[in-house]
């Protein structure tokens, strides 16, 4: 049995999907971008701010599912350009205490709303 996870503390989906699905103790979080949930505006003043907003959105979804970053086992990071990797990696890493999850990072031709960063996660309870 799957449980749909949605919270107003993260951006509402901009397509036919949910923020996350909880199934058999595994949480699958859809890719998040730097939309500020309170305003619906993008936070793209710089790469650090954009990355922090993405991570805050992911954190809100984890919290709604009563989980934290320590439960994350897999992430996928999509970037508009690999030149952003070190900055995004530094911000991303600051949200984990130890025992980092498995991960892959790709540069892609385009991301929703012209953003530079999108991150999805899988967490286990």
Q: Please give the model's pTM, rounded to 2 decimal places.
A: 0.96
Total structural domains in the chain?
Answer: 1
* Best CA proximity match to 22, nearest among 73, 64, 69, 58: 64
Count of helix runs (H) and strand runs (E) in the chain: 2, 6
- Which phi and psi angles does 115 have, rounded to 5°? -75, 170
Range of the domain at 47: 2-124
Q: What is the pLDDT along the chain (125 residues), one digit of tens a residue?
A: 899 999 999 999 989 999 999 999 999 999 999 999 999 999 999 999 999 999 999 999 999 999 999 999 999 999 999 999 999 999 999 999 988 999 999 999 999 999 999 999 999 98
CATH number at residue 115: 3.30.1330.40
Q: Are 3 and 22 in contact (CB under 8 A)?
A: yes
Return the structure tokens found at 60: 């809100």
């Amino acid at each position: 049995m799957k449980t749909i996870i949605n919270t107003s503390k993260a951006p509402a989906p901009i397509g036919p999907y949910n923020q996350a699905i909880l199934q058999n103790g595994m949480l699958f979080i859809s890719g998040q971008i730097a939309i500020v949930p309170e305003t619906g505006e993008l936070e793209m003043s710089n790469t650090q701010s954009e990355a922090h907003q993405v991570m805050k959105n992911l954190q809100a979804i984890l919290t709604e599912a009563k989980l934290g970053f320590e439960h994350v086992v897999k992430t996928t990071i999509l970037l508009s350009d690999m030149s952003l990797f070190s900055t995004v990696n530094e911000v991303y890493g600051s949200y984990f205490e130890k025992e980092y999850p498995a991960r892959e990072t790709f540069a892609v031709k385009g991301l929703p709303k012209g953003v530079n960063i999108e991150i999805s996660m899988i967490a286990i309870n």
